Structure 1
């Protein structure tokens, strides 16, 4: 196990500065549990020590395995779980037992509780189906979907029923002692692209903000007071104003992030630098933590990608965590974390050993 300084869970008080729509931390924390506020403080303080490493669907499947207990490709490589584990709620709106990646919601619940008990952090996204067509979230054949779920829209009632199912799941994330587990919730992500029905060309800025506000307000009404909301566009914005074009306001957002992936190294480095520069400024102006909420290099064909590409970029910015995408068991070569024997596995161990990379054992 690495010898690193233990993270301090002390609370801090910061006043939000800068751009309009800001609220004080006191106002925001009034609607959060003590544990959720403590997680927010941790995320703000983390860059003093380093950044957490995260992995989507880490403990539920991986390369050549599915559903095993106490297993993780990351853990198999470095001996430790990621500090952040993320899962998706897609298809919960349908009332089924499994999400869009064929994982039982009961299993996701159990893994979130287990990871919280070991000191880790969990995040949830929601690839919600298109309410107009009934197809997947990537179906952009109808540009009225967002308008249809807003108050007065033909699918408003149906959508509130979908939110009821989200609320029920969130409220079920409770320890055996009765503590609600704080979770980073990342709804309506990558909205600066147009590949989801809530994307840039599928709704107006005001419609997007209304969708976010409706989601936030309804979950609050249902007693869901243990979420940190992450505003997570893609890497399309070229400046602070573009990044904040559809921002719903400080009272409904706790963390700033962005999603981007490597296809060509030079372009990836340039995109990461640009987006992290914007993110740092936005975080400073609004006194909120920042994160790389999705990234990675599919199949990681570069044997030194972890120490020579990802780490040198992220290390320059006050990032609380970096999360890579899932290791699919049903798609060949669709993985973003190493597994034993993978070409970048040895380099990942060096990445793990660095004092500034934080895995779950460093959070105890």
Structure 2
């Protein structure tokens, strides 16, 4: 039986290959994309936004005139073929050499508005995925909302972005960050480009399985980072409710911790986080979060509940690599779902990300967080002022130990300001020698967990144990490589 507790588990059990940098789920996205055997995404950097997070919630209520319909001037659907019959690529990232031609769905495609596009210049505004958006009259370096419609700043549009990034910030995005959080960030900056930290994701929904111990048993070394998830914190009983305590335990033994949040339907209508299983969507009115919508109140209650867990971690001295709203551009989670109200799902996700940031940093006073963005498409980037680390999730078949340099370069280019780059989820561990040779310096890797829970069993649902993805020899090589940092090599923070 294929467990439905996580999309990656069920897809792999069905024999699919999933590369999240290229894939869009059934929920749809602005970025487009399809499952493929090579990682692809836009390599043009996104600009940061100076718009304050606190301005992203409004007391307006939804009306028939405040939200444009899909047929309004806010966006327009684009044809799938050029005038000469050639198929358009769904992403500019399909054209790594810049000649205007790409390869998608096992066929040639032409990149829209490229030198190879016979209809170049026919579309006004900014093209993101399969939609064209009007330019904002005021450039705020991000998404905007003017005259009752979503718009895109010219500097933010992928086709217009500069390839030049400003220098990496010396401090975290939150100026009130704790000394420990800044120490972790300083350490990351000191090793980035020469080392990669080892990481392992916990099996959130089955407390009896100890992924930390499995890594230790197989390699003789322990992961520097353990990944946890607030997935089941919407429940009052069952497995997965000790993630906070397990994270404190790993920190106390000298490790680092990462947290994701498979955010279950805030309305409690369902317990799902997949867009295919719930109708919940981010409530937007007049271009901002609609605070009069009951769903906003429910979302805020969930955010406050998770903030309390993060506060417990802060009180215990734990620094958290905090990765909410992950894989948004895929469309398979409700926070990235397609919409029928004329609002870009990318825009809605940016608004929600900034609100979560403002709520946790300014309202709750959390100072122990490094904000890890994992939206996976340039058009979904929330802005440099709200992000400390950019990351990607990559699942691409079995025993592929390439460095994933193309994806690395694409993710590295999303921000306007240089940011650290992490491999926040993966099946195969890129070979350390390949990483060094190609210069794909992922700050850390994070092997996903074992859903077929028997230790040593080779299965497509076991991302660590067995040898479906990472052979025993490869695991030993990685964990004993000079370029890979394990738990025993971390400094005290």
Q: TM-score range by the shorter chain?
A: 0.7 to 0.9
Which consecutive residues of structure 1, in runs of 5 or more, have no partner in the other structure?
1-16, 235-242, 298-305
Per the alignment, residue 76 of structure 1 pairs with 217
Determine the C-alpha separation between the residues in 1 that align with 2:358 and 2:470.
46
Counterpart pick for 1:219 among 360, 370, 373: 360
For the pair 1:357 / 2:484, whether they are aligned, the reply is yes
User: Is the 1:58–1:72 contact (alpha carbons within 8 Å) kept by the matching residues of 2?
Assistant: no
Alpha-carbon distance change, 321 to 71 in structure 1, aligned in 2, over 3 angstroms? closer
Residue of structure 2 equivalent to 1:152: 292
Q: 1:145 Cα shift?
A: 1.3
**Cα displacement string for residues 276-329 of structure 1 (whole angstroms, at most 9, x for unaligned residues):** 11123346x4232110111104xxxxxxxx5xx543443322221011101225
Q: Are positions 1:39 and 2:190 aligned together? A: no
Q: Residue 409 of structure 2 is aligned with which of 277, 285, 288? A: 277
Preserved contact between residue 46 and residue 414 of structure 2 (Cα < 8 Å): no
| Alignment-derived partner of residue 329 in structure 2 | 192
SS at match of 1:349: helix
Which residue of the other structure, out of 287, 309, 312, is the alignment partner of 1:172? Answer: 312
Deviations 1:234-264 (A, max 9, x none): 4xxxxxxxx3212111221110001110226
Q: For the structure 1 residues 58 and 118, does the alpha-carbon distance in structure 2 shift closer, same or farther, using more than 3 Å as the test?
A: farther
Say whether the 8 Å CA contact 2:230–2:259 is kept in structure 1.
yes
Q: Which runs of 5+ in 2 are unaligned?
A: 1-44, 51-167
Does the Cα contact within 8 Å between 1:338 and 1:348 map onto a contact in 2? no
Deviation of 1:30 after TM superposition, in Å, equals 1.7
Aligned residue number for residue 303 of structure 1: none
* Equivalent pair of 1:145/1:197 in contact (CA under 8 Å): yes
TM-score of the aligned structures, taking structure 2 as reference length:
0.57
- TM (norm. structure 1) is 0.76
Distance in 2, Cα, partners of 1:310 & 1:27 = 30
**Within 1, Cα distance between the matches of 2:213 and 2:431?**
21
- 1:38-57 aligned at under 5 Å gives the runs 38-57=183-202
Task: Give the 5 Å matches for 1:292-303.
Answer: 292-297=423-428
Q: Which of residues 17, 21, 24 in structure 1 aligns to 2:49?
A: 21
Quote the offset at 1:25 in angstroms.
Answer: 4.6
Would you say the 8 A contact 1:139–1:195 is kept in 2?
yes
What displacement does 1:53 show?
1.1
Which structure has the larger Rg over C-alpha atoms?
2
Matched residue, 1:122: 257
**CA separation in 1, counterparts of 2:271 and 2:205?**
25
Q: Which residue of 2 aligns with 1:207?
A: 348
Q: Report the Cα distance in structure 2 between the residues aligned to 1:342 and 1:28, rounded to whole angstroms.
A: 36
Q: Higher helix fraction: Structure 1 or Structure 2?
A: 1
Say if 2:327 is the partner of 1:327.
no
State which drifts further: 199-208 or 119-128.
Answer: 199-208
Report which stretch shifted further, 182-191 or 133-142: 133-142
Looking at structure 1, the residues matched to 440 and 176 of structure 2 have their Cα atoms a distance apart, in angstroms, of 30
2:398 aligned with 1:260: no
